[in-house]
Structure 1
Amino acid sequence: MCNNYNKYLGLPTIIGRSKYKSFRELKEKIWKRICSWKTSFLSTAGKEILIKSVLQAIPAYTMSVFKLPGTLVEEIEALLARFWWRHGNLEKGIHWRSWDKLGRAKGRGGMGFRDLGSFNRALLAKQGWRFIKDPNSLASRIFKEKYFQNSGLLEAKLGSGPSFVWRSIWSSLDLVKGGLVWRVGNGESIKI
């Protein structure tokens, strides 16, 4: 039996002052995966599929619970860009376009790669949306009791000494509010 309580369900149990150190393992997982592939045998289409279906999926579970530090997101995207532009076993390749431009939809001249920062915010907003849609879920009841007892989720304050999970979800509530305004503006009725 292991007495290591640093992780639970693959997520860190304790987030210290250095958020970067807490989530650095994601970058290392992506790097190990990249190093395990023989890039000399991959076509451009093969690299595209590996980036979209494998590499960008590695941090998705963690990003649905925690807001990743911006520097870590930038470093992960830099790893993906290096993998994309590398030819054969060479470490470097010429970066003909910025990663931001490659993130555009294919119809707009990009490759359709995810912007991980925006994806992180969207996943956290989805958690907030779940609190609104299913107020009787266990997670919703716990967060309501702890952080917004006397108000609704959309009026909730950050509070003093919040958990990093609540701080992450709270930071994306503007997206939830924007989505509600759009839905109501298009004729849907929303019960909150």
Structure 2
Amino acid sequence: MSEDRKEDLLGILKMRQFEKHSKYLGIPTIIGRSKKVIFGALLDRIWKKLRGWKEKILSRAEKEILLKSVIQAIPTYLMGVYKLSAAMINDIQSAMSRFFWGSDEGKRRLHWRNWKSMCEPKCAGGMGFEDLSVFNDAFLGKQAWRLVKGEESLLGRVMKAKYYPNCTFLDSSLGYCCSYPWKSVWCSKALILEVMIWRVGNGAHIRIREDPCG
């Protein structure tokens, strides 16, 4: 597009021109080798929220509501695109655990239950907190299912053209020098294959030795 055309559009739409976006909709546009640097901003955002609340005047019930409705909602959009590392998820859950149990003059209070048991449903004796690792896998599995069922969508056409032009998503391989979002979604393919079966019909497209059936 010519510079004159750009200026005309900027004037009509009342927009500003940016040379580079470090983030788009809260998601980093460039993921380098060090994922910890990129996702560190997520952890910092969570810490700022936790420090901003005066935990000493909050009851356990109030802390539970804040953690479930605010803190656990912060990484959800990011988890729909990227697979968070186990270390990152552990840091987030440790921060929530410390906030829930509290501290006295910089010293940690006794944690009466570990966080894994806190993530159990209340009917099973837990507190009903989300297991972020499972949550992350579920979000990425949803994106993988979109690629299975929506090959004609814009997302499906772009991903197919770049990563698996000669096969379906379920038959695709990870490949080399792939982007981190693609690697994250591709790794969730195993979740789809665990529960996916063929409805036999006339059997024309079923590979007897390879496809699950029931």
Instruction: Work out whether the TM-score is over 0.5.
Output: yes
Gaps of 5+ in 1: 185-192
Q: Deviations over 1:18-54 (max 9, x none)?
A: 1111111111000000011111221111111111110
Letter in 1 for 2:189: L
Residues in 2 aligned to 1:72 and 1:12: alpha-carbon distance in whole angstroms: 16
Output the TM-score relative to the length of structure 1: 0.89
Q: Equivalent of 2:181, from 150, 157, 165? A: 165
Residue 128 of structure 1 corresponds to: 144
* C-alpha distance 88-43 of structure 1, shift in aligned 2 (>3 A): farther
Residues in 2 aligned to 1:86 and 1:68: alpha-carbon distance in whole angstroms: 26
Letter in 2 for 1:157: S
Q: Identity over aligned residues, as a percent?
A: 43
Residue correspondences, number: 183
Residues in 1 aligned to 2:42 and 2:58: alpha-carbon distance in whole angstroms: 23
Residues in 1 aligned to 2:46 and 2:107: alpha-carbon distance in whole angstroms: 16
Residues in 2 aligned to 1:13 and 1:179: alpha-carbon distance in whole angstroms: 32
Q: Equivalent of 1:54, from 65, 70, 80? A: 70
Structure number with greater Rg is 2
Give the Å deviation of 1:75: 0.5
Tell me, what secondary structure is at the counterpart of 2:62?
helix
* C-alpha distance 96-57 of structure 1, shift in aligned 2 (>3 A): same
Cα root mean square deviation, aligned: 1.8
- Is the 8 Å Cα contact of residues 66 and 168 (structure 1) preserved in structure 2? yes
Letter in 2 for 1:40: K
Report which stretch shifted further, 157-166 or 81-90.
81-90
Give the Å deviation of 1:6: 1.5
Give the Å deviation of 1:90: 5.7
Higher RCO, 1 or 2 (CA under 8 Å, sep at least 6)? 1
Gaps of 5+ in 2: 1-15, 200-214
Residue 132 of structure 2 corresponds to: 116
Tell me, what secondary structure is at the counterpart of 1:149?
coil
Map 1:81-100 onto structure 2 (within 5 A). 81-86=97-102, 92-100=108-116
Residues in 2 aligned to 1:121 and 1:178: alpha-carbon distance in whole angstroms: 13
